Amino acid sequence: MTSHSSSNNGYESYLDYRGKGTGLKSWIFSTDHKRIGILYLIAMLIFFVVGVTFGFLMRLELIAPGKTIMDPQTYNSFFTLHGIIMIFLFIIPGLPAVFGNFFLPIMLGAKDVSFPRLNLLSWWLFIIGGLLAIIAVFLPGGPVDTGWTFYIPYSVRTSTNVFPALLAAFVLGFSSILTGLNFVTTIHRLRAPGMDWFKMPLFVWSIYSTAWIQVLATPIIGITLLLVIFERAFGFGIFDPALGGDPVLFQHLFWIYSHPAVYIMIIPAMGVISEIIPVFAHRTIFGYKFIAFSSIAIALFGSMVWAHHMFTVGMSGAAMFIFSLLTFLVAIPSAVKVFNWVATLYKGSISTDPPLLYALAFIFLFSIGGFTGLIQGSLSVNMHIHDTSFIVAHFHYVMFGGTGFGIFAALHYWFPKMFARKYNMKSAKVGFWILFVGFNVLYFPMFVMGWLGMPRRYYDYLPEYQIYHFISTVGSWILITGLIIMFANFIHALLKGEKTNEMNPWGGETLEWHVPTPPPLENFDEIPIIETDPYQYKDNDLSNTEVKEVN
């Protein structure tokens, strides 16, 4: 993509601009928010492929009972690395760092984020964290095998490389905090004249809620992981029961961050869906304020439900009561969003392009994830399905069916704007359907076997679960086929796809569709003045959209 030349439009696009260096240097030292977004995208997709590979190999191991392709120690490291990579290096940075960086300033009518150099530092911290995670795999001692949750006492007993893995997560935390800080400041300070809070696009609202969680919750995981490092290095005895510490305290501190982190992952995806649905229904969004405030409500209530990850550790009745009740109530703002999205389709003029397909799949899969979350939130039921493959299915429906499909939706939606290339619509749809089918075949059987008592993080299993494991493994092959089609389509588009300078291929109304394709270095020649809501569709004239049948 460096070979792009769109200078014939009389402006210098962010892809052409060289800055101080040339080649690679013009990218990895660039403070342009768009280039940083692309840097994150590349890094994140590489980590995603690694994470998928671990997942694929684990599923292959589980196709039959007993040893299939690896020993238990390898399997334990694989699920740990799969978790660490997917969570800290793919889903958490996924939407905010990639698409937040690229589009937030444009959607606000700004030339960049508030602190561009801090932004570059965040990316470098992300890369250093990622490298540490890779080092954790190859150092003598063997890859970390604690699970991504690092539960004590196991994490102070195992001889594997826990230290670099903890350090990796610690450094990645800083990257996340600084990005959050940058976005909060940008949204407060750099909105274009006239853009009051309720004229902001909903994606911006979602990034705003997310950024606050990043700033407020991430320091807690930083401190906690640092304490585990001290625990291992000096035998502090804060968590280690052998030294008089409390292993449950670790779980509380871990989840005080890691539950809100789930919302860091999902809220921006909800923001993407809120952008895509009105564009492809070609009408105004239904219940703008309800969608905006529900993001805030999720961020707020989501910070107070962490102990529902710990219903079986033996907490007081009062704690169980409160955490279960709040867990049910935090579902309400998500439900409100879903209803408003569906209502936005009503009396629209709906074009089923790939971004919309991914958005609708998001609603369906996220709903299943949400409903099964209610099942887990119920105290008595939780006693049975806690730590079974039911929870594995649940969070993959939320994190992959939700956030993952949200990221794919965003990619399909913004790709032409980011790279000024068209991807093949037919391949995109074929890839989508295979991915969608594969996803359900892969993860749905996990609900069934979890309900039947199959515990999670199991290298081996009883023969009665084999049929479900077998179906699930076949599902992983279908899913990966879909992923390959999707990525091949994007790579093909980047290399050989038809070039396009079309400013607004989908008929969107937010500001990114009013800057040239690809966007110029500082986005706007003149800062726009905002007078209207972001989703007007005032004339609602079909003649504007008919030409949009790309390809």
Task: Report the C-alpha gap between 174 and 151 in whole angstroms.
Answer: 21
- Residue number with CB closer to another protein (273 or 521): 273
- Please enumerate in sequence order all residues whose Cβ is within 8 A of that of 196, keeping only pairs 6 or more positions apart, or say none: none
What crossing angle do the helices spanning 405-419 and 354-377 adopt, rounded to 10°?
150
Shortest approach of another protein to residue 506 CB, angstroms?
12
DSSP string for 4-40: ---GGGSS-BTTT--TTS-TTHHHHT---HHHHHHHH
For residue 499, the cross-strand partners are 421
Q: Please give the size of the binding site for another protein, defined by CB under 8 A.
A: 89
Kindly write out the interface string for residues 383-412 of this chain, putting x where it contacts another protein by CB under 8 A and - elsewhere: xx-xxx------------------------
In the chain the first and final C-alpha atoms are separated, in Å, by 21
User: Which residue in 17, 154, 444, 524 binds another protein (CB under 8 A)?
Assistant: 154
Shortest approach of another protein to residue 151 CB, angstroms?
6
Nearest partner of 230 among 156, 135, 148, judged by Cα = 156
Select the span of 226-234, 255-263, 448-456, 497-505 touching another protein (CB under 8 A). 448-456
Task: Report the C-alpha gap between 87 and 528 in whole angstroms.
Answer: 37
Question: Can you read off the two tokens belonging to residue 511?
Answer: 């500001």
- Residue number with CB closer to another protein (102 or 400): 400
* Contacting another protein within 457-496 (CB under 8 A): 457-462
User: Which residue in 19, 141, 453, 528 binds another protein (CB under 8 A)?
Assistant: 453
Select the span of 161-169, 261-269, 358-366, 479-487 touching another protein (CB under 8 A). 358-366
* Contacting another protein within 306-345 (CB under 8 A): 312-314, 317, 320-321, 324-325, 328-329, 331-332, 335-336, 338-340, 342-343, 345
Shortest approach of another protein to residue 157 CB, angstroms?
6
Shortest approach of another protein to residue 541 CB, angstroms?
8
Nearest partner of 474 among 56, 51, 50, judged by Cα = 56
For residue 455, the cross-strand partners are 388
Task: Report the C-alpha gap between 409 and 391 in whole angstroms.
Answer: 25
Shortest approach of another protein to residue 341 CB, angstroms?
9
* Contacting another protein within 504-543 (CB under 8 A): 537-538, 540-542
- Residue number with CB closer to another protein (221 or 338): 338
Task: Report the C-alpha gap between 465 and 445 in whole angstroms.
Answer: 10
- Please enumerate in sequence order all residues whose Cβ is within 8 A of that of 223, keeping only pairs 6 or more positions apart, or say none: 253
* Contacting another protein within 109-138 (CB under 8 A): none
* Contacting another protein within 259-288 (CB under 8 A): 281-284, 286-288
- What kind and span of H or E run contains 162? helix 162-189
- Please enumerate in sequence order all residues whose Cβ is within 8 A of that of 425, keeping only pairs 6 or more positions apart, or say none: 353, 354, 550, 551
Task: Report the C-alpha gap between 259 and 491 in whole angstroms.
Answer: 35
- Residue number with CB closer to another protein (205 or 461): 461
Shortest approach of another protein to residue 312 CB, angstroms?
5
Q: Does 237 bind another protein (CB under 8 A)?
A: no
Shortest approach of another protein to residue 327 CB, angstroms?
8
Sign for the pseudo-dihedral over CA of 130, 132, 135, 141: negative
- Residue number with CB closer to another protein (289 or 499): 289
- Please enumerate in sequence order all residues whose Cβ is within 8 A of that of 266, keeping only pairs 6 or more positions apart, or say none: 366, 398, 399, 402, 403, 406
* Contacting another protein within 67-106 (CB under 8 A): 72-73, 76
User: Which residue in 29, 138, 198, 346 binds another protein (CB under 8 A)?
Assistant: 346
Amino acid at 267: I
* Contacting another protein within 156-195 (CB under 8 A): 157-158
- What kind and span of H or E run contains 399? none
User: Which residue in 2, 7, 9, 349 binds another protein (CB under 8 A)?
Assistant: 349
Select the span of 20-28, 173-181, 367-375, 516-524 touching another protein (CB under 8 A). 367-375
Question: Can you read off the two tokens belonging to residue 262?
Answer: 């789930």
